[in-house]
């Protein structure tokens, strides 16, 4: 007796694909995704979640330990640390994301130009990328902010320049492989313009490594912003920032009020750790050679 197989409905196939996709993620990866989303939402909703203004000073509650009134305690000026962490988290996320997006766009564009132009242009861009990769990200960002001055845009620009190198090199490598394929040669023979070849045939094949790099570099951008703020090169006070909350009077009152440093440090550690774990998982997920659980 013959067995007749019927095709599954479209919505059933979509559910099955979603289940198989989530089955590839380990509990640690799912926990990291949830933690990262929670921290990002907490920062973006700081105006709603914060019980006090980040600059509000409570002179009757200087250096108060964590309590029902001040969940994370207060600093030496009577400012609520929980509120300042929420607003500082938002500033760090916005600046790091802006720097990451700018660095991704510029790096991918330079990588495409390097691969397509070749010759002297390729030589100059590759030496520039090698010079950047020879220095730590934070060192490059410090030099840029020291030259441009501390501000939101300058910090984001410094982070973007510090992150250029991997995008230039990876996108160039992928673009060179794509440009050597027969359909790109056919497009040239048919008279396709330079921009059409780059944006229609080359760039779509570069999205996977670009997204993977961006996901891994998000934690690097957060850490770079916190490092600049810690060194006094980030947002000027009294604007709250996670790195800025670890410097200044915090060191003077550390033994008397350790919560001033503990809670901002824990938040920085949590968001960087979650971002790195999610970035590694996304990189493996986008890699077609990866077949193990992530």
Q: What is the DSSP letter of 74?
A: B
Could you tell me which of 237, 293, 245, 239 has the C-alpha nearest to residue 265?
245
Indicate whether 81 belongs to any domain.
Answer: no
User: Is the CB of residue 88 less than 8 Å from the CB of residue 245?
Assistant: yes
Which runs of consecutive H residues, i.e. helices, occur in the chain? 10-23, 27-44, 46-49, 81-117, 119-133, 137-148, 152-162, 164-179, 182-189, 194-196, 207-230, 249-252, 259-286
pLDDT band for position 287 (cuts 50, 70, 90): low
Instruction: State pLDDT tens for residues 145-182.
Output: 888 888 889 899 999 999 999 999 998 888 888 777 77
Indicate whether 7 belongs to any domain.
Answer: no
Instruction: State pLDDT tens for residues 186-220.
Output: 776 666 666 777 777 777 778 888 888 888 899 89
Mean pLDDT, residues 106-117: 89
How many C-beta atoms surround the C-beta of residue 193 within 10 A? Answer: 11
Instruction: State pLDDT tens for residues 37-50.
Output: 999 999 999 999 98
Number of domains in the chain: 1
- pLDDT for the residue numbered 293: 47
Average per-residue pLDDT for the chain: 83
- Does pTM surpass 0.85? no
**Where is pLDDT greater, at 116 or 267?**
267
**Domain containing 117: what range?**
94-286
Indicate whether 253 belongs to any domain.
Answer: yes
Quickly count helices (H) and strands (E) in the chain: 13, 0
- pLDDT for the residue numbered 271: 92
Could you tell me which of 236, 238, 246, 251 has the C-alpha nearest to residue 269?
246
User: Is the CB of residue 267 less than 8 Å from the CB of residue 89?
Assistant: yes
Q: Residue 129 above 80 pLDDT?
A: yes
Indicate whether 31 belongs to any domain.
Answer: no
Total count of residues recorded for the chain = 294
CATH of the domain at 236: 1.10.3720.10
Could you tell me which of 226, 225, 213 has the C-alpha nearest to residue 153?
225
Indicate whether 3 belongs to any domain.
Answer: no
Q: Is it true that the peptide bond before 169 is cis, omega within 30 degrees of 0?
A: no
Could you tell me which of 117, 103, 101 has the C-alpha nearest to residue 198?
117
Indicate whether 276 belongs to any domain.
Answer: yes
């Amino acid at each position: 007796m013959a067995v007749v197989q019927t095709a599954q409905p479209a919505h059933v196939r979509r559910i099955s694909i979603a289940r198989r996709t989530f089955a590839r993620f380990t509990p640690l990866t799912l926990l990291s995704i949830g933690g990262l989303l929670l921290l990002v939402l907490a920062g973006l909703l700081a105006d709603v979640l914060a019980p006090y203004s980040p600059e509000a000073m409570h002179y009757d509650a200087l250096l108060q330990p964590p309590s029902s009134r001040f969940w994370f305690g207060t600093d030496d000026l009577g400012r609520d640390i929980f509120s300042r962490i929420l607003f500082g988290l938002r500033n760090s996320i916005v600046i790091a994301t802006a720097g990451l997006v700018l660095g991704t766009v510029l790096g991918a564009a330079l990588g495409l130009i390097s691969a397509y132009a070749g010759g002297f242009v390729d030589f100059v861009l590759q030496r520039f990328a090698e010079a950047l990769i020879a220095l730590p990200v934070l060192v490059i960002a410090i030099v840029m902010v020291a030259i441009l001055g501390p501000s939101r845009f300058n910090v984001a620009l410094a982070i973007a320049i510090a992150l250029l190198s991997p995008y230039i090199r990876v996108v160039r490598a992928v673009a060179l492989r794509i440009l050597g394929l027969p359909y790109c040669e056919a497009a040239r023979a048919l008279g396709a313009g330079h921009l059409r070849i780059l944006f229609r045939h080359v760039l779509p094949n570069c999205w996977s490594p670009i997204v993977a790099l961006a996901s891994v570099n998000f934690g690097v951008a957060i850490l770079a912003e916190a490092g600049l703020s810690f060194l006094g090169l980030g947002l000027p006070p009294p604007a709250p920032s996670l790195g800025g909350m670890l410097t200044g009077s915090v060191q003077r009152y550390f033994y008397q009020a350790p919560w001033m440093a503990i809670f901002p440090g824990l938040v920085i550690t949590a968001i960087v750790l979650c971002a790195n774990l999610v970035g590694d998982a996304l990189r493996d997920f986008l890699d077609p050679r990866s077949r193990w659980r992530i």
